[in-house]
Amino acid sequence: MAQLSAAGSQTELARRVGIDQGRIAKLVSGKIKFSNLTLETVERLFPGMLTVEEPRMGEARVMCKRIQRIIDRLNDEELAELLVWLATRFPQRAKE
Protein backbone atom coordinates (compact mmCIF):
# COMPACT_ATOMS: atom_id res chain seq x y z
CA MET A 1 0.00 0.00 0.00
CA ALA A 2 2.94 2.32 0.65
CA GLN A 3 4.12 1.83 -2.94
CA LEU A 4 0.63 2.59 -4.20
CA SER A 5 0.34 5.69 -2.03
CA ALA A 6 3.73 6.97 -3.19
CA ALA A 7 2.79 6.44 -6.84
CA GLY A 8 -0.53 8.23 -6.43
CA SER A 9 -2.58 5.79 -8.50
CA GLN A 10 -2.69 2.18 -9.58
CA THR A 11 -2.00 3.26 -13.15
CA GLU A 12 1.16 5.12 -12.15
CA LEU A 13 2.36 2.26 -9.95
CA ALA A 14 1.74 -0.16 -12.82
CA ARG A 15 3.78 2.03 -15.16
CA ARG A 16 6.65 2.34 -12.66
CA VAL A 17 6.97 -1.35 -11.86
CA GLY A 18 5.98 -2.81 -15.23
CA ILE A 19 2.90 -4.72 -14.06
CA ASP A 20 -0.55 -4.55 -15.57
CA GLN A 21 -2.82 -2.14 -13.66
CA GLY A 22 -5.51 -4.82 -13.53
CA ARG A 23 -3.22 -7.13 -11.56
CA ILE A 24 -2.55 -4.36 -9.07
CA ALA A 25 -6.29 -3.76 -8.70
CA LYS A 26 -6.89 -7.48 -8.09
CA LEU A 27 -4.06 -7.59 -5.55
CA VAL A 28 -5.43 -4.56 -3.68
CA SER A 29 -8.97 -5.99 -3.70
CA GLY A 30 -7.81 -9.40 -2.52
CA LYS A 31 -8.82 -11.24 -5.68
CA ILE A 32 -5.15 -12.19 -6.08
CA LYS A 33 -3.50 -13.41 -2.91
CA PHE A 34 -0.05 -12.06 -2.19
CA SER A 35 1.14 -15.61 -1.54
CA ASN A 36 0.25 -16.53 -5.14
CA LEU A 37 2.48 -13.87 -6.74
CA THR A 38 5.51 -14.98 -8.70
CA LEU A 39 8.94 -13.98 -7.44
CA GLU A 40 9.31 -11.76 -10.51
CA THR A 41 6.16 -9.84 -9.57
CA VAL A 42 7.28 -9.48 -5.95
CA GLU A 43 10.68 -8.21 -7.12
CA ARG A 44 8.96 -5.61 -9.33
CA LEU A 45 6.66 -4.45 -6.55
CA PHE A 46 9.43 -4.35 -3.93
CA PRO A 47 12.70 -3.73 -5.79
CA GLY A 48 15.79 -4.51 -3.77
CA MET A 49 13.83 -5.88 -0.84
CA LEU A 50 13.71 -9.54 -1.82
CA THR A 51 16.75 -11.54 -0.85
CA VAL A 52 17.20 -15.22 -1.38
CA GLU A 53 19.62 -16.96 0.91
CA GLU A 54 20.95 -20.48 0.79
CA PRO A 55 18.47 -22.80 2.48
CA ARG A 56 19.49 -23.41 6.07
CA MET A 57 17.88 -26.75 6.66
CA GLY A 58 15.77 -29.51 5.30
CA GLU A 59 15.56 -31.08 1.91
CA ALA A 60 16.33 -27.89 -0.02
CA ARG A 61 19.73 -27.57 1.63
CA VAL A 62 20.49 -31.24 0.96
CA MET A 63 19.48 -30.77 -2.68
CA CYS A 64 21.70 -27.67 -3.03
CA LYS A 65 24.68 -29.66 -1.78
CA ARG A 66 23.93 -32.54 -4.14
CA ILE A 67 23.66 -30.16 -7.10
CA GLN A 68 26.93 -28.46 -6.14
CA ARG A 69 28.73 -31.83 -5.99
CA ILE A 70 27.46 -32.66 -9.49
CA ILE A 71 28.49 -29.26 -10.88
CA ASP A 72 31.95 -29.58 -9.34
CA ARG A 73 32.53 -32.76 -11.39
CA LEU A 74 31.64 -31.19 -14.76
CA ASN A 75 34.30 -30.17 -17.25
CA ASP A 76 34.05 -26.81 -19.02
CA GLU A 77 32.12 -28.21 -22.00
CA GLU A 78 29.62 -30.01 -19.77
CA LEU A 79 29.17 -26.91 -17.62
CA ALA A 80 28.52 -24.78 -20.71
CA GLU A 81 25.94 -27.32 -21.90
CA LEU A 82 24.24 -27.23 -18.49
CA LEU A 83 24.13 -23.42 -18.50
CA VAL A 84 22.55 -23.37 -21.97
CA TRP A 85 20.01 -25.98 -20.83
CA LEU A 86 19.09 -23.90 -17.77
CA ALA A 87 18.88 -20.67 -19.78
CA THR A 88 16.50 -22.21 -22.33
CA ARG A 89 14.23 -23.66 -19.67
CA PHE A 90 14.26 -20.66 -17.33
CA PRO A 91 14.72 -17.65 -19.65
CA GLN A 92 13.46 -15.02 -17.18
CA ARG A 93 15.92 -16.14 -14.49
CA ALA A 94 18.80 -16.30 -17.01
CA LYS A 95 18.36 -12.60 -17.81
CA GLU A 96 19.07 -11.70 -14.20
Looking at residue 11, what is its pLDDT?
92
List the chain pLDDT tens, one digit each, 96 residues. 777 888 889 999 889 888 889 988 988 888 888 777 787 887 788 776 666 565 566 777 788 888 888 888 888 888 888 887 877 877 666 555
Please, what is the angle between helix 10-17 and helix 21-29, to 10°? 120
DSSP state of 36: G
User: What residues does each domain of the chain span?
Assistant: 2-45, 58-95
Residues 6+ apart with CB under 8 A from 16: 7
Instruction: Read off the pTM.
Output: 0.47
CA–CA separation, 32 vs 21, rounded Å? 13
